[in-house]
Chains A and B, each alone.
Chain A
Amino acid sequence: MSLELVVAAVMFTGVLAYAVLGGADFGSGFFDLTAGGDRAGAALRTRIDHSIGPVWEANHVWLIFVLVTWWSAFPTAFAAAMDALILPMLLALLGIVLRGSAFAFRKYAGTLGQARFFGVTFAGSSLVTPFFLGATAGAIASGRVSLDGREDVWSSWLTPTSVVGGVVAVGTCVFLAGCFLVADARRGGEEDLAETLRRRTLGVGLVTGLVVLAGLLPLRADAPTLWNGLTGRALPLVLAAFVAGLVTLGLLLVRRYALARLTAVVAVASVVSGWGVGQLPWLLVDEVTVADAAGATATLQGLLMAFGLAAVLVLPPLVYLLRLTQTEQWSRTAP
């Protein structure tokens, strides 16, 4: 593998990590929004708070990681994408800002009224953000970003592929969140809550599966390059996503939550990497390849060193934190 490709692969690993870990945080917004009134929803909201509170900031950093790697390694492509996709990027950013701040504010809100307001803001913006990030991905995957010349800031992403990308992103986030929350609820000994979450997650899973399948249809005409990749090189990943999704639904049906968590991650990771592999060798589809977009070689080498350092300094504590939050002792005691 060439140097550029290695850096691009690591960058895409960041996209994957953000989609899975950050995605599960965003998706919990759906369950928060649909938890019911103050009393009925209290248990679920407390569970969500407990579940994503310690990890959302760390999971959020994957986005920063992707952004920074992108502009350092592929600066011109970054500038072009920012230019063409300014609107969905900004709307996603707005969602990120509101989600993070409202979530932190709600935990320490002084009154129920404030908690309600911050809660709705948190939950709503949690769903807005993945939609626009998915739409951004859709625009890149369908060749809407060009290096020169300005695209219209609207038509670059108001396309079938972007809409599919957005909806699929929201669906997968919610599905993932459901799988994690249901497992959390059981570990915490809240079987009633787990039952409610199980039903909702099954529903979300079915709908998301159908959306992903139906979403493939418009790609053939709207994003031919991606379509060729998905039905060619990336086909095994598409099939893996499908199988893992079905297995997850089955595991939820028989209440094997701990396992369902893992297969859900496999399903979502397969969907996302299907996109990545499907659009290779393009960085911006039909416009510039990974190899051509690369910036200075010295910087790429430096980035590899930074990745190595991250693997040593960041991954062990991150894994420790994520494991800690998935233990029974952690789930049982509310702080």
Chain B
Amino acid sequence: MLATLAPFLTTLATDGGGAAAEPAGLLPARQQMALSLGWHIVLACFGVALPTIIAVVHWRGAFRGDQGALLLAKRWGKVSAVLFAIGAVSGTVLGFEMGLLWPGLMGTFGDVVGLAFAFEGLSFFVEAIFIGMYLYTWGRIDPRRQFWMLVPMAVSGISGTFFILSVNAWMNAPVGFDIVDGEIVNIDPWAVFTKDQVWMQFLHMWLAAFMVAGFAVAAVYAVGMLRGRRDRHHRLGFMVPFAFATVAALMQPFVGHLLGLRVAEMQPAKLAAFELALETESPSPLRLGGIVVDGEVVGSIDVPVLGSVIARNSFTEPVQGLDTIPPEDQPPVNVVHLAFQTMIGIGSLFVLVVLAFWGARWRGRDLLENRWFLRAVVACAPLSVVALQAGWIATEVGRQPWVVYGVMRTTEAAGDNSGLWWLLGATTIVYTAMTVGAVLVLRSMARRWRAGEEDLPSPYRPEPGDAEAEPAGAVSA
């Protein structure tokens, strides 16, 4: 649903750039990438963060004898089985797409960034093995031993995020090769991992994963409490993911700020678009909202000096204006600016929400009794996904027209296969169906759990309790 926002926005985005001699495969490839990446990134968040969140409740259950917590771990494990499955296949789609959509990129730079993908694949391997073990050892081995299967999953979530973000960081700040007479030479595949940029981007995304997964799980139990199910099960189910989301939401502004400071030096055009700076002003204002129409900023609220303070850590340093950048090197300004500020706005809202909760708790008030607070947390779940998508749109569209910043334009990476439109159509249908399927299955899981069915029996035959079912003897197994 929300992922479909991304291709729509990139459509807008592509209108802004120079329309000179685009290969036929460019526009469909962009849409395809936006759709499949936008969809996968949501599941990736669960793949990265959920094992850690589950580990906490499993630990309580296994080592502290908290049966309620162990039950949560078991249920969240089953949910993650569904989410990991569709995450695994949608991740595979991306693997294929790197070659299918961007032959110019992979053919030219495949060996420069290859190691990062290789290590990411390794991380995924570890996670896939241990999730298989974790899910299928319930009731077969001691929960205390089972706990240790979550640890490699949590670690591989970290390493996987790091390695995949190192590819994106490389696209923003390419290293590890020289270009001599148009040839890529002196390739150093390890350089990709050594830049500070990688660490900052990794941290930003890792925290984002905990915000998305944390708020999503907490929201489920907030809905339960809003419907009057106020038992310990719901409180614990709310508190653990909410605590994770809290830490992530409070750290994120600092990481984001540090990352933003780097943009000024690395990609001035992107920063100019973030800040809607058409001209260099010293000090620069902070432009809230607004769009560019015919070369003029319309409808923004300008706060003097604050732009310099936030983007440059200075009262005087300006944000370099777009007018200093050749038109053919400018990103589509409006989309980048609005996406960027959407992310920041939602992130700030999260800080308020979590501070309100813990502040009230410190003063002895329990906001879980407050329906408006619960509603706010429920809203945080979709908002966190919007912020996630907005952040990716801001950084990806903001890097345009480059796919590898300063080295390769996106037009050079695309192929000339106009048949990719068919692929986009088919993908839209399949991903919609997968979304519907996942929602259907997860909802029925929750419904059956509420009805007291814990083991979710095999659905391949009429249920034993069914009126129309044959006598039990007719069914073997």
Chain A interfacial positions (CB closer than 8 Å to B): 38-39, 41-43, 45-47, 49, 53-55, 57-58, 60-61, 63-65, 67-69, 71-73, 75-76, 78-80, 82-83, 86, 89-90, 93-94, 96-112, 114-115, 118-119, 153, 190, 192-193, 295-296, 298-299, 302-303, 306, 309-310, 313-314, 317-318, 320-321, 324-325, 329-330, 333-335
Contact = CB atoms under 8 A, between A and B. Distances in A.
A106 B441 CA distance: 8
A72 B118 contact: yes
Given A83-B103, A299-B115, A310-B125, A100 B430 contact: no
Interface in B56-101: 78, 81-82, 84-86, 88-93, 95-96, 98-100
B111 A42 contact: no
Contacts of A53: 132, 135-136
The 4 closest A-B pairs by CB, nearest first: A72-B114, A110-B444, A75-B110, A295-B111
A94 B423 CA distance: 10
Interface in B122-151: 122, 124-126, 128-133, 135-136, 138-140
B158 to A, nearest CB: 14
A111 B456 CA distance: 11
Interface string B445-477: 101100000011011111100000010001111
16 contacts: A49-B460, A60-B88, A61-B128, A75-B107, A75-B108, A80-B107, A110-B447, A190-B476, A295-B110, A298-B188, A309-B119, A313-B122, A314-B122, A318-B129, A320-B133, A330-B140
A78 B460 contact: no
Interface string B164-205: 000000000000000000000001111000000000000000
A206 to B, nearest CB: 27
A61 B136 contact: no
- Chain A interface helix/strand/loop/mixed: helix
A64 B458 contact: no
A93 B122 CA distance: 20
Given A39-B462, A115-B459, A335 B96 contact: no
Given A57-B128, A83-B103, A299-B189, A333 B85 contact: no
Given A60-B88, A73-B111, A104 B82 contact: yes
Given A54-B135, A68-B118, A97 B92 contact: yes
Contacts of B419: 86, 153
Nearest to A330: B140
Nearest to B83: A104
Interface centre among A39, A96, A193, A302 (most CB of B within 10 A): A302
B426 interface: yes
Contact of B115 (A42, A61, A90, A306): A306
Contact of A101 (B99, B110, B136, B434): B434
B121 A41 contact: no
A58 B128 CA distance: 5
Contact of B440 (A42, A60, A114, A313): A114
Contacts of B121: 61, 64-65, 68
Contacts of B81: 104, 107-108
Interface string B426-440: 100010001001101
B110 A41 contact: no
A329 B132 CA distance: 17
Given A97-B90, A299-B115, A303-B118, A42 B475 contact: yes
B253 interface: no
Interface of B: 78, 81-82, 84-86, 88-93, 95-96, 98-100, 103-104, 106-115, 117-122, 124-126, 128-133, 135-136, 138-140, 152, 187-190, 415, 417, 419, 423, 426, 430, 434, 437-438, 440-441, 443-445, 447-448, 455-456, 458-463, 470, 474-477
Contacts of A107: 81, 458
Nearest to A106: B459
Contacts of A103: 85
A324 B135 CA distance: 13
B93 A93 contact: yes
Given A71-B98, A333-B139, A86 B417 contact: yes
Contact of B89 (A101, A114, A317): A101
A113 to B, nearest CB: 9
B129 A314 contact: yes
A192 B476 CA distance: 10
Contacts of B139: 333, 335
A63 B136 contact: no
A283 B447 CA distance: 53
B268 to A, nearest CB: 31
A67 to B, nearest CB: 5
Contact of A49 (B82, B133, B448, B458): B458
* B95, B130, B443, B474: most-surrounded residue (chain A CB, <10 A): B95
Nearest to A97: B89
B448 to A, nearest CB: 7
A55 B135 CA distance: 11
A97 B126 contact: no
B165 to A, nearest CB: 16
A60 B127 CA distance: 12
A83 B82 CA distance: 32
Contacts of A86: 100, 417, 419
Contact of B124 (A64, A73, A79, A89): A64
Given A42-B477, A46-B460, A76-B107, A317 B130 contact: yes
Contacts of A106: 459
B285 to A, nearest CB: 45
A76 B103 CA distance: 9
A112 to B, nearest CB: 6
Contact of B100 (A82, A108, A109): A82
Nearest to B434: A101
Contact of A97 (B112, B152, B434): B434
Contacts of B152: 317
Given A39-B470, A75-B108, A100 B88 contact: yes
Contacts of A115: 459-460
B474 A309 contact: no
B111 A334 contact: no
Contacts of A334: 458, 477
A30 B474 CA distance: 24
